[in-house]
């Protein structure tokens, strides 16, 4: 007599539907043979797997004379075969409620797969290179669909409803929680949907085999979180050194941004006219303003040759200080860009500076641009994490005059409309709102009272949900060099830390 047929379950334990089948089998103690399919490495298309399941999909169940390869159909089949009426009610109305949820769960499945894709993972859980999915518009569209579905789930849960269809856990709950468990890597704060969050926590507490079934899935989540952290570090590096910056890429030895009040033509002449340079620097200068012409600055303490002079656009020079070792020179590149304000932004980069002289050369440029009436500027990049806070809370705090006054300990008036003005620290800092995207982005033109009258910096604040709270990415462009430290410490000490403390205190005493 042949032994009874042991059901075969083909699955990849990271996949949501696979984990749903595993959970039911473990919780209901259904006997089965587990056959793990290595989906990321292409085992779905292998001859061995195809012989068992020609559809190339998981989960799949082969049980005696039937092959099933759709999650919710498998859940229904197992409940019917093993008479699991506590998981799949026999009463018509109750069963119909479960069926309705199972049938609509496909929408959440599709939305989750799309969200995983824009976060860098294919349908087979393999990594997609960043350049293939870094499209802000696509990300926004996909995540809106995903969050709208969570909102629908929130609306369908009753105030005192323990589980999705009532007071008893069913296969609908299992199917949904396994799909929803990806939320932590999709920049989604589940606490924004309080009833869904409470249901989620209740499910984990009631499923005795949750940890066992999800062991491999949790390892996957850990790897994804590590990868996302590295990507964020790469983005910050790109902001500092350019879009193409990668680990190991050497940035220029010296890099400065300088602002001039006049046009690009005025700024170009200021840096290439012999008489003007001599007057502003207060020392003898020579300058042959032709390609290949030589120049000397500051009584010949600096000498070089103009490799390219493209009027009002670009200067490329071979440049050296007299104290450098013989036959050593650097390359200086100066680019002129017209600003909407009518002023000019000048970007200077200098490469191949002898290492012992980098700091001294950098100091020389700071003195040089101050004397030629430019505003040497730096960009401030900060990243702040607000634990257990939503983007909405952070956005509202930043536009709340009372709160900002409290943090600054000086009067602050913050406009809430695009084009409206603001004042900080008793009007010693002024500006206007350029762009406001509710709960996501604030862009402001910003200047302090002791800056040159014509000079403004641009502040960009972006907020997004991350696991456990909100990540704020702050960028302030064109801060006068000598004011950089003060501005940086003001944001850090007087605003970010105080906001973090207030949010923490609010949670403690709530």
- Are 306 and 296 spatial neighbours (Cβ–Cβ below 8 Å)? no
Going from the C-alpha of 367 to that of each of 280, 287, 375, the distances in angstroms are 11, 19, 11
Q: The pTM is what? A: 0.50
The region of weakest confidence among 46-50, 60-64, 445-449 is: 46-50
**CA-based nearest residue to 308, from 322, 320, 292, 321:** 292
Residue in the structure block whose two tokens are 């709960």: 439
- Are 203 and 214 spatial neighbours (Cβ–Cβ below 8 Å)? no
* Strand pairing category for 8-11 and 33-36: parallel
pLDDT score recorded for residue 237: 56
Which helix (H) or strand (E) segment is 448 a member of? strand 441-448
pLDDT above 50 (res 193): yes
Higher pLDDT, 311 or 293: 311
Name the token pair of 282: 């207060």
Return the percentage of the chain with pLDDT > 90, whole number.
54
| Region 113-119 average pLDDT | 80
- Are 343 and 454 spatial neighbours (Cβ–Cβ below 8 Å)? yes
Helix, strand, or coil here: 416?
coil
The CA angle 340-342-345, to the nearest 5 degrees, is 80
What does 321-358 look like in DSSP terms, one character per residue? ETTSPTT--EEEEEEEEE-TTS-EEEEEEEE---GGGH
pLDDT score recorded for residue 316: 85
Helix 16-27 / helix 71-81 crossing angle, nearest 10 deg: 10
Q: Confidence class of residue 181 from pLDDT cuts 50, 70 and 90?
A: very high
CA distance 318 to 262: 26
Over residues 233-269, the pLDDT tens digits come to: 665 555 445 444 444 445 788 888 899 988 999 999 9
CA distance 109 to 486: 49
Strand residue runs (E) in 254-387:
254-260, 286-287, 294-297, 302-310, 314-321, 330-338, 344-351, 375-387
- Are 281 and 368 spatial neighbours (Cβ–Cβ below 8 Å)? yes
What does 77-127 look like in DSSP terms, one character per residue? HHHHHTT-TTTS-SSHHHHHHHHHHHHHHHHHHHHHHHHHHHTTB-TTSPB
Residue in the structure block whose two tokens are 């207030």: 502
pLDDT score recorded for residue 386: 92
Over residues 334-389, the pLDDT tens digits come to: 999 988 778 899 999 998 899 999 999 999 998 999 888 888 888 899 999 998 89
pLDDT above 60 (res 423): yes
pLDDT above 60 (res 432): yes
**Diameter of the chain by CA atoms?**
108
Name the token pair of 293: 């012409």
| Region 268-276 average pLDDT | 93
Instruction: Centre a 10 Å sphere on the Cβ of residue 67 and count the other Cβ atoms it contains.
Output: 14
* Strand pairing category for 457-466 and 469-480: antiparallel
The region of weakest confidence among 242-251, 426-435, 456-465 is: 242-251
CA distance 104 to 110: 11
pLDDT above 70 (res 86): yes
Over residues 210-219, the pLDDT tens digits come to: 999 999 999 9
**CA-based nearest residue to 486, from 445, 459, 450:** 450
pLDDT above 50 (res 136): no
Which helix (H) or strand (E) segment is 504 a member of? helix 497-509
pLDDT score recorded for residue 183: 87
């Amino acid at each position: 007599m042949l032994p009874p047929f042991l059901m075969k379950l083909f699955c990849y334990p990271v996949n949501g539907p696979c984990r749903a089948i595993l959970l039911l089998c473990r919780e209901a103690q259904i006997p089965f043979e587990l056959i793990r399919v290595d989906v990321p490495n292409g085992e779905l298309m292998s001859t061995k797997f195809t012989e068992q399941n020609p559809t190339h999909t998981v989960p799949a169940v082969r049980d005696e004379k039937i092959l099933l390869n759709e999650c919710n159909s498998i859940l229904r089949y197992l409940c019917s075969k093993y008479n699991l009426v506590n998981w799949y009610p026999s009463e018509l109305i109750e069963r119909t409620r479960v069926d309705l949820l199972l049938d609509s769960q496909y929408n959440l499945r599709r939305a989750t797969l799309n969200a995983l894709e824009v976060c860098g993972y294919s349908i087979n859980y393999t990594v997609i290179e960043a350049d293939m999915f870094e499209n802000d518009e696509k990300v926004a569209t996909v995540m809106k669909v995903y969050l709208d579905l969570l909102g629908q789930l929130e609306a369908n849960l009753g105030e005192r409803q323990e589980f999705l269809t009532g007071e008893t856990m069913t296969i609908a709950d299992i199917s949904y929680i396994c799909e929803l468990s990806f939320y932590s890597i999709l920049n989604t704060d589940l606490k924004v949907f309080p009833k869904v969050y409470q249901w989620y926590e209740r499910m984990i507490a009631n499923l005795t085999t949750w940890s066992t079934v999800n062991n491999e899935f949790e390892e996957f989540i850990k790897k994804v979180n590590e990868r996302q952290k590295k990507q964020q570090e790469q983005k910050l590096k790109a902001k500092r050194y350019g879009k193409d910056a990668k680990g190991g890429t050497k940035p220029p030895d010296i890099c400065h941004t300088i602002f001039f009040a006049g046009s690009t033509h005025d700024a170009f002449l200021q840096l290439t006219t012999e008489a003007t340079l001599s007057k502003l620097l207060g020392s003898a200068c020579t300058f042959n303003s032709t390609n290949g012409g030589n120049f000397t600055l500051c009584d010949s303490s600096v000498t070089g040759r103009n490799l390219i002079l493209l009027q009002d656009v670009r200067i490329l020079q071979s440049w050296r200080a007299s104290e450098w070792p013989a036959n050593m020179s650097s390359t200086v590149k100066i680019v002129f860009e017209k600003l909407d304000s009518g002023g000019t932004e000048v970007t200077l980069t200098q490469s191949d500076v002898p290492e012992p002289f980098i700091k001294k050369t950098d100091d020389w440029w700071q003195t040089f641009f101050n004397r030629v009436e430019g505003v040497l500027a730096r960009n401030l990049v900060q990243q702040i994490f607000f634990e257990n806070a939503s983007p909405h809370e952070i956005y509202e705090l930043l536009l709340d005059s009372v709160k900002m006054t409290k943090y600054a300990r000086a009067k602050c008036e913050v406009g809430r409309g695009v084009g409206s003005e603001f004042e900080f620290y008793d009007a010693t800092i002024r500006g206007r709102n350029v762009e406001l995207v509710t709960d996501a982005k604030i862009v402001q033109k910003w200047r302090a009272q002791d800056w040159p009258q014509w000079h403004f910096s641009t502040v960009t604040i972006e907020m997004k949900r991350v696991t456990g709270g909100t990540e704020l990415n702050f960028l302030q462009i064109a801060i006068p060099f000598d004011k950089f430290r003060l501005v940086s410490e003001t944001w850090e000490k007087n605003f970010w830390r105080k906001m973090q403390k207030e949010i923490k205190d609010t949670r403690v005493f709530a």
